[in-house]
Amino acid sequence: MSAATTTPSAPASSGAEGAPRPVGRPRSSASLRHRLADRGIDGQMLLLLPALVFILVLFVYPFAYGLGLTLQPTQETVETWGGGVLANYVRFFGDSFTFASVWLTARLAIPAALFNVLFSIPLAIKLRHRFRGKRLISTLLVLPITLGTVLTAQGLLIFAGRQGWLNQALMGIGLVDQPLDLVHNYIGVLLSLIISGFPFAFLLISSYFSGIDPSLERAARSLGAGWAQRFFRITLPLLAPGLATTFILTFVLAFSVFPSATLVGNPSGSTRVLAVVAYRFFGEQFDYPMASTVAIMMGLAELIVVAIVLFARSFFYKGTTGGKG
């Protein structure tokens, strides 16, 4: 990188700023460019331009616009809930029907994210080593990534519905008398979140695992550490930052769930997640400002969880783990 190169002229000319410039050493154009490059400013900065435009047009502006909307409550909201420009927020926290959605969403997203992370660990451990059928298993685990949430929901309805294969099979072998209620409720959405979130978690954790030098575990073995000691003292501490990141990603994915909450859930009851509530305000009550408020609060709730996890992550070792990752 040009930024890293040190130029002999740069210190000389910068030192001359206050004092009279030494005779015979005019400040050259190269010197200015080098001094800028020393501060990381060079032609390569132009490469950032597309991304900057992208962020401004597609994120910053809409976000600011939405935030502005939340401060322009409808007349009706102000009359019912009061609070002036903050009426939407007053309504969000005051309306138990709306506010309860935060809990309903968290109740889905946190267990789904935890499940995805925790169950990826043993699989990732097993799939670290070479064995027969490894490729088949990893393909099967990753495959759901390619199915969209709608397809997953559709499949769940057919497979796990009251007349689905699963219930028919369970009743056929006499395990249950009544078909199990697995869809159109909390369980259906949770299953859908796990199916679509697990491949992400598994892939991420596998790559974090491959970043840990396998000889560390061998070293621990040679020092007398048994299975559990190796896992809890060596592998887990090194993996923890990766687990936290994976948790955050799958949590955010699950927290903004919308399609499966409507398709395989009970969108007016147990799976009335924030995305559904926001959609209702927007699509059914045409209360655009309130819909924005719900969306903003959804982001805020996610941020809080992310902040907590990142705070916890800061206590772990985050340096190199010696592997190829």
Residue 84 or 226: the one with the smaller Cβ distance to other proteins is: 226
Q: Smallest distance from the beta carbon of 246 to other proteins, in angstroms? A: 18
d(CA 171, CA 179): 7
d(CA 78, CA 81): 5
Residue 290 makes CB contacts below 8 A (sequence gap 6+) with 73, 74, 77, 88, 91, 92, 281
Q: Smallest distance from the beta carbon of 230 to other proteins, in angstroms? A: 8
Q: Smallest distance from the beta carbon of 313 to other proteins, in angstroms? A: 13
Residue 40 or 322: the one with the smaller Cβ distance to other proteins is: 322
Binding residues for other proteins, rule: CB under 8 A, are 213, 215-216, 218-226, 229, 233-234, 237-238, 316-317, 319-322
Q: Smallest distance from the beta carbon of 221 to other proteins, in angstroms? A: 4
Residue length of the chain: 325
Residue 226 or 283: the one with the smaller Cβ distance to other proteins is: 226
Are 321 and 212 in contact by the 8 Å Cβ rule? The answer is yes
Are 161 and 181 in contact by the 8 Å Cβ rule? The answer is no
d(CA 30, CA 224): 61
Are 245 and 201 in contact by the 8 Å Cβ rule? The answer is no
Closest C-alpha among 236, 246, 151 to residue 198: 246
d(CA 274, CA 132): 44
Closest C-alpha among 193, 35, 201, 176 to residue 124: 201
Closest C-alpha among 167, 298, 293, 309 to residue 246: 309
Partners of 322 in the beta sheet?
Answer: 212
Residue 202 or 209: the one with the smaller Cβ distance to other proteins is: 209
Residue 161 or 242: the one with the smaller Cβ distance to other proteins is: 242
Exposure of 318 in the CB half-sphere (CA atoms within 13 A): 12
Residue 97 or 315: the one with the smaller Cβ distance to other proteins is: 315
Q: Smallest distance from the beta carbon of 130 to other proteins, in angstroms? A: 12
Q: Smallest distance from the beta carbon of 27 to other proteins, in angstroms? A: 41
Residue 126 or 218: the one with the smaller Cβ distance to other proteins is: 218
Are 210 and 323 in contact by the 8 Å Cβ rule? The answer is yes
Q: Smallest distance from the beta carbon of 308 to other proteins, in angstroms? A: 22
CA–chain centroid gap for 34, Å, is 40
What does DSSP assign to residue 59?
A: I
Residue 143 or 310: the one with the smaller Cβ distance to other proteins is: 310
Q: Smallest distance from the beta carbon of 263 to other proteins, in angstroms? A: 44
Q: Smallest distance from the beta carbon of 322 to other proteins, in angstroms? A: 6
Structure-token pair, residue 113: 């994210």
Residue 148 or 322: the one with the smaller Cβ distance to other proteins is: 322
